[in-house]
Amino acid sequence: MKPNINMMLLLVLTACLLGACKNEPILNPNAPTMDEIIKNPTVNELNNLVVGTESGMRKGLDFYTEITGIFGREIYRFAASEPRYTQEMMGAGNSQLDNTSFYANNSWLYRYNVVRNAYLLIEGTQNSTYITNEKQKKGYYGFAKTIIAYQLLLNLNLTYANGIRTDVKDFRKLGPIVKEEQALTDIAAMLKAAREDLADGEFLFELSDGFTGFKDIAGFTKFNYALAARVAIYRKQWAEALTDLQGSFLDLAGDLNTGAYHIFSTAAHDITNPAFYERNESGDIRLAHPSYAAQIAPGDDRIDKTALRDDPATKDGLTSDRDFWIYRSETAPAAIIRNEELILIYAEAKIQLNQLPDGKTAIDRIRKAHNLAPYGGALDQAPLITEMLTQRRFSLYGEGHRWVDMRRYNRLATLPIDRPNDDVWPQLPLPLAEVGN
């Protein structure tokens, strides 16, 4: 899948201002011709924008994994040439987060780059005289709006109370930064608008095999509903989450790994999984936080999301004897959303609505799948919430949820402090170029 990258002017400026060695300016090879293309694109040109939009979602997976994993105390990231992974990002000593840093800027840039691509797709579809069938146009709109909402959600997960821009349709006149509650409302509305298009649409394009089972309108609508259920629990809209799950691909008895994925390859013009690291490496490595193995139940097969090293690795007073081992090859797929998460969303919503036996049934489905006996604690809301969060921790390890979950439930203070004076950060700062704008 060849990336098709088009950036907002503001984001190009931001990239130019980034001074750290780990910042990665994102090139914009299509800008000289994109304005012409979207004036009246052919079906093939629109489909290239679809490919570019899906492809772009994979960029920066490593940054997102590292930010959420380090802040959520799921992983350590050791890099010989980059001390900020073990210093600023872990709140060492008197360090503070830097809004000019790679961790504050790169993921933000990648996600808004995809949003820009998706809006170009919408604009091009509106302008195209090669498509006169409104159902076909709505297929493009429904796809683009779903991806816009998903990308905005990822950035909001990082900046949280600092907010994001949700009104970015016109890159020449960007909307204001809005706070978390309004941002989630806007994202939910975007997903709903996408479903309205999908309900009367059809696809003229084909998505990658990462969307197997979700490549047609019916399947992609289920994908949209799955994302909406995630947004609903973030908004504490428990009944709405259950309604969204009814439209999704939730299957309480189904394969936990059914879902939508980013896929990678070694083919020319494609990319490999940027979050993959070989086992037992030294220097630049990702390690499992020691608490993962220490706190997982005996016999739980999710221990295999980590791998015991031949020798422990140590840096800046941090030590781990296990590698982060979700991705076992450079072409390993990365989940966008899986049935296992949907079952846990179902459990959470049921517990929050005091439908406790249903919540326990869903939790036991997860426990049984990972070689554990049924939940044996009290059938009360508080302990079931703790149990649900525990299962989310181990089932969704390294997929960007632990930090968000602990923050949603005001439990960041329960995450381990590895060294005296370390801090668990609640959010990233806005990039410097966004401050005051």
> What is the pLDDT, as a whole number, of residue 213?
98
Q: Name the residue range of residue 303's domain.
A: 285-324
Mean pLDDT of 410-435: 96
User: Per-residue pLDDT tens for 352-383?
Assistant: 999 999 999 999 999 999 999 999 999 999 99
Q: Which two tokens stand for residue 252?
A: 């309480």
pLDDT of residue 4: 32
- For the stretch 316-345, what's the b/e string if a residue is b when 16 or more beta carbons lie within 10 angstroms of its beta carbon? eebebbbbbbbbeebbbbbbbbbbbbbbbb
- Within a domain: 165: no
31 pLDDT higher than 50 = no
Separation CA 236–CA 241 (nearest Å): 9
For residue 301, is it within any domain?
yes
Q: Are 137 and 125 in contact (CB under 8 A)?
A: yes
263 pLDDT more than 70: yes
Binning pLDDT at 50, 70 and 90, where does residue 33 land?
A: low
Q: Phi then psi for 116, rounded to 5 degrees?
A: -60, -45
Quick check: is 106 in a domain? no
Mapping DSSP onto H, E and C, the string for 288-332 reads ECHHHHHHCCCCCHHHHHEEEEEEEEEECCEEEEEEECCCCCCCC
Is the pLDDT confidence value at 25 over 80?
no
Backbone φ and ψ for 165, nearest 5 degrees, come out as -95, 125
Q: Give the 3-state secondary structure of residue 64.
A: helix
Residue 13 has pLDDT above 70, yes or no: no
Spatial distance between the Cα atoms of 117 and 140, rounded to a whole number of angstroms: 12
| pLDDT for residue 9 is more than 80 | no
CB 18 within 8 A of CB 25: yes
Counting the structural domains of the chain, the total is 1
Distances (CA, A) of 75 to 90, 196, 423, 426: 11, 40, 15, 16
pLDDT value of position 143: 98
pLDDT of 344 > 60? The answer is yes
Instruction: Provide the pLDDT for residue 154.
Output: 98
Q: Does residue 207 register a pLDDT over 60?
A: yes
289 belongs to a structural domain: yes
* Contact criterion met (CB below 8 Å) for 329 and 276: yes
Burial class (CB in 10 A: 0-12, 13-18, 19+), 403: buried
Strand partners, 308: 322
Q: Give a yes or no: residue 295 inside a domain.
A: yes
- What are the backbone angles phi and psi of residue 20, rounded to the nearest 5°? -80, 155
Q: Is residue 274 helix, strand or coil?
A: coil
pLDDT surpasses 80 at 157: yes
Mean local confidence (pLDDT), 9-32: 36
Q: Tell me the C-alpha distance between 430 and 158, whole Å.
A: 9
Let me know: does 91 contact 311? Beta carbons within 8 Å.
no
- Find the mean pLDDT for residues 416-421: 96
pLDDT score, position 309: 98
Q: What is the mean pLDDT of residues 243-272?
A: 97
Does 315 map to a domain?
Answer: yes
DSSP per-residue codes, 373-433:
PPP-S-SSHHHHHHHHHHHHHHHSTTTT-HHHHHHHTT-GGGSPP-STT----S-PPPPGG
Q: Is the pLDDT of residue 32 over 80?
A: no
Contact partners, residue 275, CB within 8 Å, separation at least 6? 61, 62, 65, 286, 326, 327, 334
Q: Categorize the per-residue pLDDT at 88 as very low, low, confident or very high, splitting at 50, 70 and 90.
A: very high
Report yes or no: 91 and 424 within 8 Å, Cβ to Cβ: yes
Mean pLDDT over 405-413 rounds to 98
**Is the model's pLDDT at 264 over the cut of 90?**
yes
Q: Is pLDDT above 60 for 246?
A: yes
Cβ–Cβ < 8 Å for 183, 164: yes
From the list 114, 383, 388, 115, the residue with the least C-alpha distance to 241 is: 388
pLDDT over threshold 50, residue 8: no
Is position 71 within any domain? no
Dist. CA 330–CA 433, nearest whole Å: 34
Residue 224 lies in a domain: no
CA 273 to chain centre: 14
Q: What is the pTM of this model?
A: 0.92
Which of 374, 141, 352, 142 has its CA nearest to residue 242?
A: 352
Structure tokens at 400: 């960007």
Average pLDDT, the chain: 92
The whole-angstrom separation of Cα 16 and Cα 36 is: 25
